[in-house]
């Protein structure tokens, strides 16, 4: 080792050298004197060897060097008897410790003085030199220029120039220099004082301390004195620890090393593995963080019982918020969770308790620093992962429960959620598949869906019942939260954890579906889905997506929520500002439904509960537009082409179109256009009663969708494919009473002007629907039986009603279109009567036509103005030729009208116009069938009195 010159005691060394030299000189002088006084001079003629031998014999032994004896007081060593009383033991220990303390304190004083001198020197050195201004004058002679040198011109300078210079010169400040010299002298004096040997008392105390420890270790083997020895050892250990807590001991290397070695020896013998010493040791380190370095090696929680292990962990967690980060890391790292699980095999109750403690620790305030997890958080996360990896099925529910409660208290960071979920997903048949994190807060929904689907289909750790219990717990937990705190939904309270909760719900949904795949539930059927899977899925996502109505809150809801809801819309699941978060939850629910349909392909009833949930809770009056928009966007992505609705589902769809907000109509249209109605109707056709109800509801749904103004406004109404396929449905099963209601619905919801294009070739959607109703009525049915079907009569009545409505409000430019429409109506009436009564004579067909006209035309003629009658007469006169072979052209409707007028209650002016027009049309080319002399009087006799 290279020693600094300042730390060598040169004065003492020089003094020792001088004293040794003096002793040597004194010894040499004594020898010289003895030799000079001896008579050993021999003859010069003696042999040299003889002379040397004789001379040596004459020399006496050199006198011994005298060193004055050093009288030191005797050293007194302390000893302890195993059976000594506590007071005696404490006194002996104190007598060993006090000299060490005094020595260390003296060194600390010297050190403090040295630091003060160094600081003073550092303050003086910048002022050692000072700048002094100096002013002097210099005479500068004149030098001629180059031109003047070459010429004989005399110099213009009369005398040397006097120039004054001012400069600054650095000089040593004598006052500061003297202070620096005094500082250096004081420093040399202090170093000379420090470099003395250690006091004898301190050395004796050190030896006594080591001897006491050795004797305690030996006496520990004596069973009779073991308790007394342990008590004494703990007293000594506490005394040493208390002494080490002083800064003076830790600053003096000899005492620091001595105390460290003594504490380590005592701790290994009397503390390590002793259960009763765990808590005092923890508390002492937490109270005095400076003792962690010396006491941490003595901490061994893994060697104590499970109860003491948990108690110690509890103490650390409770003091964690106020603990230094370094101290907390040292203490927590001593708890080896893996060793505790494998060696002690603790029961589930103790494992759950430890999980609770860990999550409490993660909820403390010192787990985040600069928006990043601290080392303490990482250590606690590793403990929690270790517990989960060793016992996932039993701890899964409890871990989720503790995390939810901590999240509700706003004291848990989001990274804890993702770490727990990542630990579960990383398992592969009980083994950790990957050490790298799989789940992150910024993971994309597509990537998340792939990961969850792969894990759910691979894992064999969690059973269906275990997953279902967790799902039901989460659903009940959030349901209670919603009832008591969710005035504006759950999103304001759990806003910082929405992403983690979304991943949790989606994970449980996938696990629930995959676990039911034939392993626990047997064959997947409709009843198993509705009875097992759907309630759990709905309970999990319901509190986040569904409005709560007042009847749901009367029994369980908080009173303050009920008071605010009195007479108001339902309890909204979220406010507009939380729509983004709600959309993520809704998409997770949709992905679970997708996974369910992928897991169990071919089951057409899977979407039926989804529709029932939508109808019962969402498609209701009072639900906000911001809720409907999110639900519709999420649910529209579902494969509704696989939806196989029940009859009740179909009726509910009609109810939504009739009562729900207009925002729901577009969603109903989206579903309706994707359902395979042709196959669906074919499945219900064998049952006539069921088919009649189904067809009635389906036709009503089509009518409502076609006439919906909101769909037309956004150009989303495109029912042509459905209307085209609907002609193949078995409409003969439709009851006439249902058709009458539907045709009235059509009249009330359609624009009357639509009927003007009845005969046009370019068919709009309204006209396509009109033609479908005509087809359903059997107007163009080639297999029509004898007689006029009631539905056919209802259809003609509807057309007549629409035409007369148009006539009432007709404008001039619509005259031609109205006449064409009436011509079409009269033509279809003739065709239907002729087709319905083909075997009867012309007179019988006229009578049947008269009956039809009484039902179809006369009620509207009598109810409308003379203007409508005039327009009808013009249309009758311009009627096109008939297709009948039994009656001459353009006569059957006119003759039927004349027969029908016999029992009408029209006004005289209306009768005049109608009879005149009907006679004109009836008498055209009628000579071969009806002689004029026989026909005209009969026709005039019906209402002759009124016409005259």
Tens-digit pLDDT profile for residues 327-352: 889 999 999 998 888 887 888 899 99
* Residue 487 DSSP symbol: B
Output 30 or 23, whichever has higher pLDDT: 23
Q: Residue 698: its pLDDT value, please?
A: 92
Q: What is the mean pLDDT of residues 878-896?
A: 53
How far, CA to CA in Å, does 249 sit from each of 233, 259, 727?
20, 8, 103
Alpha carbon of 72 to those of 16, 78, 199, 861: distances in Å?
19, 18, 12, 148
Q: What are the C-alpha distances in Å from 943 to residues 740, 844, 868, 911, 940?
A: 33, 20, 21, 8, 6
Give the integer Cα–Cα distance in Å for 403 and 497.
Answer: 11
Residue 299: closest CA among 321, 322, 328: 328
Q: Given a cut of 90, is residue 474 above it in pLDDT?
A: yes
Q: Bridge-partner residues for 169, per DSSP?
A: 132
Between 667 and 817, residue with greater pLDDT: 667
- Pick 732 or 780 by higher pLDDT: 732
Out of 147-156, 246-255, 382-391, which region has the weakest mean confidence (pLDDT)?
147-156
As a whole number, the mean pLDDT across the chain is 79
Q: Which region among 265-279, 671-685, 811-825, 929-943 has the lowest average model confidence (pLDDT)?
A: 929-943
Can you give the pLDDT at residue 39? 46
Q: What is the mean pLDDT of residues 99-127?
A: 86
Comparing C-alpha atoms, which of 727, 659, 656, 655 is closest to residue 695? 727
pLDDT at 164: 86
- pLDDT tier at 491, thresholds 50, 70, 90: very high
> Do residues 801 and 754 make contact, with C-beta atoms less than 8 angstroms apart?
no
Say yes or no to pLDDT of 628 above 90: yes
Residue 861 belongs to what H/E stretch? helix 858-863
- Judged against a pLDDT cut of 90, whether residue 152 lies above it is answered with no
The span from the CA of 115 to the CA of 121, in Å, is 10
The confidence score (pLDDT) of residue 928 equals: 42
List pLDDT tens digits, range 272-287: 878 888 888 888 888 8
Paired residues of 224 in beta bridges = none
Rounded Cα gap, residues 23 and 66, in angstroms: 8
Give the H or E element holding residue 471: helix 464-485
pLDDT band at 799 (very low <50, low <70, confident <90, very high): confident
Q: What is the pLDDT of residues 710-728, one digit of tens each?
A: 777 665 557 788 888 888 8
- List residues bridging with 138 in a β-sheet: 163
Phi-psi region of 778 (alpha: psi -120 to 50; beta: other; left: phi over 0): left
Residue 945 has what pLDDT? 44
Interhelix angle 625-635/579-599, rounded to 10 degrees, is: 30
Comparing 914 with 465, which gets the higher pLDDT?
A: 465
β-bridge partners, 214: none
Confidence of residue 478 (pLDDT cuts 50, 70, 90): very high
The yes-or-no verdict on residue 7 having pLDDT over 70 is no
**How far is it, in rounded angstroms, from Cα 437 to Cα 255?**
49
pLDDT value for 163: 85
- Percent pLDDT > 70 in the chain is 78
Distance CA 491, CA 725 (A): 46
d(CA 555, CA 562): 10
């Amino acid at each position: 080792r290279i020693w600094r010159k300042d730390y060598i005691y040169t004065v003492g060394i020089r003094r020792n050298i001088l004293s040794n030299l003096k002793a040597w000189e004194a010894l040499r002088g004594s020898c010289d004197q003895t030799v000079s006084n001896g008579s050993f001079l021999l003859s010069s003629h003696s042999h040299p060897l003889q002379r040397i031998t004789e001379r040596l014999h004459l020399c006496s032994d050199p006198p011994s060097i005298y060193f004055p004896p050093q009288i030191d007081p005797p050293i007194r060593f302390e000893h302890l008897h195993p059976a000594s009383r506590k007071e005696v033991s404490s006194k002996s220990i104190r007598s060993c410790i006090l000299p060490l303390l005094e020595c260390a304190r003296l060194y600390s004083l010297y050190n403090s003085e040295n630091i003060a001198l160094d600081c003073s020197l550092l303050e003086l050195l910048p002022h050692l030199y000072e700048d002094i201004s100096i002013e002097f004058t210099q005479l500068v002679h004149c030098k001629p220029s180059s031109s003047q040198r070459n010429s004989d011109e005399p110099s213009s300078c009369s005398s040397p120039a006097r120039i004054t210079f001012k400069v600054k010169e650095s000089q040593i400040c004598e006052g500061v220099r003297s202070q620096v010299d005094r500082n250096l002298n004081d420093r040399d004096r202090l170093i000379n004082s420090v470099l003395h040997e250690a006091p004898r008392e301190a050395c004796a105390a050190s030896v006594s301390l080591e001897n006491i420890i050795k004797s305690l270790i030996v006496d520990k083997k004596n069973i009779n004195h073991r308790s007394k020895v342990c008590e004494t050892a703990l007293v000594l250990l506490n005394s040493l620890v208390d002494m080490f807590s002083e800064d003076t001991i830790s600053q003096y290397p000899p005492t620091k090393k001595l105390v460290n070695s003594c504490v380590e020896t005592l701790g290994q013998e009397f503390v390590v593995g002793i259960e009763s010493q765990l808590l005092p040791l923890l508390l002492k380190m937490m109270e005095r963080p400076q003792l962690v370095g010396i006491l941490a090696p003595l901490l061994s929680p893994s060697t104590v019982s499970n109860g003491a292990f948990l108690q110690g962990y509890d103490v650390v967690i409770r003091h964690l918020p106020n603990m230094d980060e370094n101290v907390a890391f040292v203490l927590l790292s001593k708890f080896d969770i893996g060793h505790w699980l494998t060696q002690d095999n603790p029961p589930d109750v103790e494992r759950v308790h430890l999980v609770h403690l860990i999550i409490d620790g993660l909820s403390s305030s010192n787990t985040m620093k600069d928006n990043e997890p601290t080392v303490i958080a990482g250590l606690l996360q590793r403990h929690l992962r270790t517990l989960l990896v060793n016992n996932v099925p039993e701890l899964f529910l409890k871990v989720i429960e503790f995390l939810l409660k901590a999240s509700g208290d706003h004291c848990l960071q989001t990274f804890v959620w993702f770490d727990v979920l990542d630990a579960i997903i990383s398992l592969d048949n009980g083994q950790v598949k990957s050490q790298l994190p799989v789940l992150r807060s910024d993971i994309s929904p597509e990537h998340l869906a792939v990961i969850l689907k792969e894990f759910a289909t691979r894992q064999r750790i969690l059973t269906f019942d275990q997953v279902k219990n967790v799902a039901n717990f989460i659903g009940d937990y959030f349901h209670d939260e919603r009832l008591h705190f969710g005035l504006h939904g759950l999103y304001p309270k759990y806003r910082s954890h929405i992403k983690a909760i979304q991943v949790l719900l989606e994970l449980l949904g996938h696990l629930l579906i995959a676990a039911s795949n034939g392993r626990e539930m047997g064959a997947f059927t409709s009843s198993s889905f509705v009875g097992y899977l759907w309630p759990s899925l709905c309970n999990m996502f319901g509190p986040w997506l569904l409005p709560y109505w007042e009847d749901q809150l009367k029994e369980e809801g908080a009173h303050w929520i009920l008071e605010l809801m009195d007479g108001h819309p339902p309890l909204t699941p979220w406010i507009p500002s939380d729509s983004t978060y709600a959309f993520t939850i809704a998409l997770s629910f949709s992905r679970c439904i997708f996974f369910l349909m992928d897991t169990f392909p071919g089951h057409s009833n899977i979407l039926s509960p989804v529709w029932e949930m939508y109808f019962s809770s969402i498609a209701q009056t009072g639900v906000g537009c911001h809720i409907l928009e999110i639900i519709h966007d999420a649910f529209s992505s579902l494969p509704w082409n696989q939806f196989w609705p029940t009859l009740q589902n179909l009726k509910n769809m009609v109810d939504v179109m009739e009562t729900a907000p207009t925002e729901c109509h577009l969603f109903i249209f989206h579903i309706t256009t994707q359902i395979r109605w042709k196959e669906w109707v074919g499945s219900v056709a064998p049952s006539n009663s069921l088919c009649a109800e189904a067809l009635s509801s389906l036709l009503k749904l089509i009518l409502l969708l076609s006439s919906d103004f909101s769909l037309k406004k956004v150009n989303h109404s495109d029912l042509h494919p459905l209307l085209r396929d609907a002609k193949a449905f078995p409409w003969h099963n439709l009851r006439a009473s249902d058709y009458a209601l539907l045709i009235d619905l059509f009249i009330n919801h359609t624009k009357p002007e639509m009927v003007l294009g009845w005969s046009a070739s370019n068919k709009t959607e309204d006209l396509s629907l009109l033609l479908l109703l005509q087809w359903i009525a059997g107007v163009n049915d080639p297999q029509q039986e004898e007689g006029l079907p009631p539905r056919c009569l209802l259809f003609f009545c509807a057309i007549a009603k629409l035409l007369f409505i148009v006539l009432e409000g007709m404008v001039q430019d619509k005259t031609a279109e109205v006449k064409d429409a009436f011509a079409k109506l009269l033509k279809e009436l003739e065709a239907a009567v002729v087709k319905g009564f083909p075997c009867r004579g012309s007179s019988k067909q006229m009578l049947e036509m008269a009956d039809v006209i009484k039902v179809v035309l006369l009620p509207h003629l009598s109810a409308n103005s003379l203007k409508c009658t005039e327009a009808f007469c013009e249309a009758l006169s311009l009627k096109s030729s008939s297709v009948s072979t039994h009656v001459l052209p353009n006569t059957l409707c006119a003759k039927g009208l004349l027969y029908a007028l016999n029992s009408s209650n029209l006004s005289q002016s209306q009768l005049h116009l109608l009879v005149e027009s009907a006679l004109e049309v009836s008498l055209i080319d009628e000579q071969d069938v009806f002689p004029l002399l026989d026909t005209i009087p009969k026709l005039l006799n019906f209402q002759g009195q009124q016409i005259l």
